[in-house]
A and B are shown apart, each in its own frame.
Chain A
Amino acid sequence: MAVPALRGSLSFAGQSLTIAAKDLRSELRTKEALNSSLAFALVILVLFSFAFEPTQEETRQISGGLLWLVFAFAGALILNRSFARELTNDCLDALVAAPISGAALFAGKAVANLALLLAVELVSLPVFGVFYNVPWTQQFWSLMLVLLLGTWGLTVVGTMFSALTVNLRLRELMLPMLLYPIMIPGLLAAVELTTPLVMGQPLEGSLIPWLRLLAAFDVIFTALALALVETVLVR
């Protein structure tokens, strides 16, 4: 891994984007996390169909729950790799020592994870539509907004906990275990928004409070993460 030469004059955004680009480049070279995450998502979608044999209408009514469970589980694989990939050759120490703030490092990784997880989701959605014979594009752009907000919440908290658990032996177990209960409000809001949107209901009326909750969740935890990540990363 080559730490790019960072001049002190790079802004926070510049630093974050450099880190994000580095992570994405590194991931796209091997596509390890991406492929395993995607495969996992597809397996869950298939398994669910075997397990429950839902009719088309039933599927539409649980679409939010099913999709976000898939995204949450598949996302854990990506999030785990986020800081874990820096452990070899002491790259993590080098990054922390580099002249960028911990917050910028975190933001960059979070953005990279967001991109990767969104990619997995955007492939999973059509597959879901095909497997379950569910038309899901009626409220496409609203759905994309919810996807973005929900995935951002998942990514921000997940990247934070990835940093928290990076040095643990049981990292792969501890990350999901800590992440999912904390994510419950965000996931709940995302689910409550996704199901009506997949069923064709527009994003208005009784759905707006959920949208506000999701946005508030994202804001609160992004702020907390940015404030605390430096503490977590510095030895």
Chain B
Amino acid sequence: MRQKIMLALTGMAALLLARNLYVIFLQLPDEIEQGAIYRIIFFHVPDAWTAFLCFFAAMVASVLYLARQDLKYDAFAASATEVGLAFGVANLVTGMIWGRVIWNIWWAWDARLTTMLVGLLIYAGYLMLRRAIEEPTERAKMAAVLSIFAFADVPVIFFSIRWWRNQQHPNAVVETGKMAPEMLRMLFTNWIPLLLLAVVFLMIRMEQERTQREIDALRRQVHSF
């Protein structure tokens, strides 16, 4: 059943992606200043949205774990954080390539990419913390606390870095500015297949967490003989 759902979601994502790529490359008009590269934005921006949605979901799961003590919430938090990291890295790399083309530098310390970088550092730390604790309930508890701290920090990080950049480079135009309506629509339309993929990754990862719990139980059984 799960397999079928995952296959169906992947299939839908693939179809949507194919359709979107067609529109992105063949139908949408060019951007005057940037040439072809601007089309990367249709992956760059939804990647970030997906990543932060995952981190938010991880925080909610963490709160639920602390409230209910059910390890499934912990499994969800870990899986969501991992999937969020994957999309976050994709966002960073596409952002760097875009920056290299537009500003001729690989890294410009602009507010949004820097926020994502800091976020990735924090959530990589989350995964490292998980690896450092062996006992499952202890690990779940500590990781949950960290996840809550981490996500509470995300908006603060964003505003502080944006304010910092505005002070250094007042009126620097880093914003994408007004977008043509069909481009804006494509931004959201392309988010859907990415979200579907994120859900599939999440399902795979959750199943792996369940398998890991089964392994732990079996190990205990073996040792008790």
Q: Give me the interface of A with B, judged by CB distance under 8 Å.
A: 157, 160, 164-165, 167-170, 174, 177-178, 181-182, 184-185, 188-189, 192, 206, 209-210, 213, 216-217, 220-221, 224, 228, 231-232, 235
CA A235 to CA B157, docked complex, whole Å: 32
Name A178's contact: one of B125, B156, B161 (CB within 8 Å): B125
Tell whether, in the assembled complex, residue A213 and residue B145 are in contact, meaning their CB atoms are under 8 Å apart: no
Q: How far is the CA of A232 from the CA of B128 in the complex (A)?
A: 17
Q: Which residue from B122, B149, B157, B161 sits with its C-beta under 8 Å from A224?
A: B149
B90 interfacial contact with A, CB 8 Å: no
Which residues does chain A contribute within 8 Å of B159, judged by CB atoms?
A: 185, 213
Q: Could you tell me the distance in whole angstroms from the C-beta of B49 to the nearest C-beta in chain A?
A: 21
Measured between beta carbons, the chain A residues less than 8 angstroms from B133 are 167-168
Query: Are A164 and B163 neighbours in the complex by a CB distance under 8 Å?
Result: no
In this assembly, does B205 line the interface, its C-beta being within 8 Å of a C-beta of chain A? no
Contact (Cβ within 8 A) A231 B145: yes
Are the CB atoms of B156 and A216 closer together than 8 Å? yes
Are A192 and B141 in contact, CB atoms less than 8 angstroms apart? Answer: no
A and B contact pairs by CB, cutoff 8 A, 7 listed: A164-B129, A165-B129, A178-B129, A185-B159, A188-B161, A209-B163, A232-B142
Q: B145 touching A164 by the CB < 8 A rule?
A: yes
Distance (Å) between the CB of A208 and the closest chain B CB?
12
Q: Is residue B60 contacting chain A, with contact meaning CB distance below 8 A?
A: no
B residues 113-145 with Cβ under 8 Å of A?
118, 121-122, 125, 128-129, 132-133, 138, 141-142, 144-145
* Interface residue total, chain B, C-beta cutoff 8 A: 28
Using known A-B contacts A192-B164, A206-B167, determine if residue A182 contacts B153 with beta carbons closer than 8 Å.
Answer: yes
| In contact, A231 and B167 (Cβ under 8 angstroms) | no
Quick check: A182 and B149 within 8 Å, CB to CB?
yes
Tell me which residues from 94 to 125 in chain B have a Cβ below 8 Å from any Cβ of chain A. Answer: 118, 121-122, 125
Complex CA–CA separation, A221 to B148 (angstroms): 11
CB-contact partner of B157 in A184, A206, A216, A221, under 8 A? A184
Q: For B129, what are the chain A residues with a Cβ–Cβ distance below 8 Å?
A: 164-165, 168, 174, 178
Nearest B residue to A183 via CB reads B153
Q: Does B152 contact A (CB under 8 A)?
A: yes
Q: Which residues of B contact A217 (CB under 8 A)?
A: 156
